[in-house]
Structures are given as C-alpha cells and as structure tokens.
Amino acid sequence: MGSSTNKPELIVNGKRLDGRAFDELRPIKIEAGVLKNADGSAYLEWGKNKIFAAVYGPKEALPKHTGDPEKAVIKCRYSMAPFSSLEEHGRSGPNRRAIEISKVTKEVFENVIMSENFPGTEIDIFIEVVQSDGGTRAAGITAAAVALATSGIPMRDLPYAVSAGKIGEHVIIDLNKIEDNYSDADMPMAISPRTGNVLLLQMDGSLTRDEFKQAVEMVKKAGQTISRIQREALKAPYEKISNKYK
C-alpha cells in the first residue's frame, strides 16, 4: 500500500484502470511440466505476472541433521528476478520481502503435503518471478500447487491463492501493481478448496467486518475459476496423449 499523496484515480466510470469489474480476475494461463530437470514444474501467466515454479524431491534431507525422522521437511524459495519490474531491486539475493513470502508459502504447503509419507527427506519448492505486476505471492502459490501435483507428491488438496482488497468503498479481487500500491486494503489469501480451510491470510490496510466477509466471498468465487484452470493445466498433457490415439 502506498501513501495517499499523488494517489491516482483507480476507478473511472465504475471500472478499474485495466477495464475490469470489481469482481473480475485478470486472465490466467498455466502450463504444467515445463522444466525437464525438475520433478514437478509449472509456468503461469496471471495478468502481466510471469512465474515459474519447480519442485525437487522428496530426496534425502541435506545436511542430514536438518531432516525430520517423522516427516519430509518442506523448503521454499520465492525469488523475484531483478529484471522483473520497473522498480529498482538493487541486488538479486533474498531480501526481507522474499524471505517473508518464502516462509508463508512454505506454511501453505506444509498444511497440504502428506509429508508424513516421506520421513528423513526434504521437498524443495522454487518460485521464480520473471515478470511482476502485483499479486505474485498468490500467483506463485497457485503455480507451485500445480508443480507439486505434477511431481506426484501426494497432497490432501490443490490449494489456490488470490488477493482481495479495497479501493474507496469498493471491495475488489486480484489487485494489480498500481492497485496494490494505492489501495486502501490488500488481503492475499490461500485456500484449500476441498475443505475451505484458510492456509494464508495477510492484510495490508484495513477492512470493516462486512467488507472482510465480502472479500472472502469474492476470493472463494474467484477460487472456483482458479481451481478449474489449475486442474485443466494438469489434465492437458494427458488429453494430448489420448487425442493422439483416437
């Protein structure tokens, strides 16, 4: 969220600056299994965001003392390429923001991966943002879920994530960068669609109780679309094969 000085008009004639309605997602495309060396991978375009997710493992936890005899250890590295936005990033190593996003993403997947099946191992999740335009933590989680599914690692559910927020009195879904910078609230959420469990909820700014309820409803409605796109991406390679033998 930015300061209110020089705040641009984010809603013009009842539409957002990119022409979307308040409850409209940006276009989302996901391709599964794009990286040969990874055990699971996905490439996602979400509006102007472009993100790769790669999964390695389960493999022996190294160094050995980092392993857990009861379950797999989940590791996550979210990283934004220095060339991914117009903003100056300085160095390309992990900064506070990347460390925070890596941590909350790891916690999302600790709640859905059946890690008890793989004691003594680690599962590495990498999220590389090569072009960013707001909402990359949500888009990264959505892509990583597909990458994990292609790796064959058993999960209790296929989580999705998206942000809701507020501009003036309007609750909106899927904030882009300019909206993220100048909105009155930004609330990324990740959800387990089968159970409805909330796996991530962060909040920048504030919402009233009613606005919060409205935002959660919008996230769940958008989630139906996001989940469908994730499932279609997972099925697509098999549909290609079955069409070949028709």
CB of 2 to ligand CDP, least distance (A): 10
> Is 105 near ligand CDP (CB under 6 A)?
no
Residues 157, 172: contact at Cβ < 8 Å?
no
Please report, for residues 56, 61, 80, 83, the alpha-carbon distance to residue 149 in angstroms, rounded to integers and kept in the order given. Answer: 12, 21, 23, 29
Of the candidate spans 8-16, 126-134, 228-236, 238-246, the one that interacts with ligand CDP by CB under 6 A turns out to be 126-134
CB of 18 to ligand CDP, least distance (A): 14
SS3 content of the chain, % helix, strand, coil (to 5): 30, 30, 35
| Residue partners of 232: CB distance under 8 A and separation at least 6 | 30
- Tell me the three state secondary structure of residue 62: coil
Of the candidate spans 31-39, 82-90, 102-110, 208-216, the one that interacts with ligand CDP by CB under 6 A turns out to be 82-90
- The two three-digit tokens of residue 91, written as one number: 């160095």
Number of residues that bind ligand CDP (CB under 6 A): 13
Whether residue 69 has a cis bond before it, omega within 30° of 0 = no
- Report d(CA 140, CA 45) in Å as an integer: 10
Nearer to ligand CDP, 87 or 239 (CB): 87
> Is 122 near ligand CDP (CB under 6 A)?
no
CB of 132 to ligand CDP, least distance (A): 3
- The two three-digit tokens of residue 191, written as one number: 């959800």
> Is 87 near ligand CDP (CB under 6 A)?
yes
Helices within the chain (DSSP H only): 96-110, 136-151, 177-182, 209-244
Residues within window 132-151 making contact with ligand CDP, judged by CB under 6 A: 132-137
Of the candidate spans 24-32, 33-41, 131-139, 223-231, the one that interacts with ligand CDP by CB under 6 A turns out to be 131-139
- H or E stretch covering 165: strand 160-167
CB of 188 to ligand CDP, least distance (A): 6
Of the candidate spans 7-15, 35-43, 130-138, 192-200, the one that interacts with ligand CDP by CB under 6 A turns out to be 130-138
Residues within window 26-65 making contact with ligand CDP, judged by CB under 6 A: none
Residues in contact with ligand CDP by CB under 6 A are: 85, 87, 89, 97, 132-137, 177, 180, 188
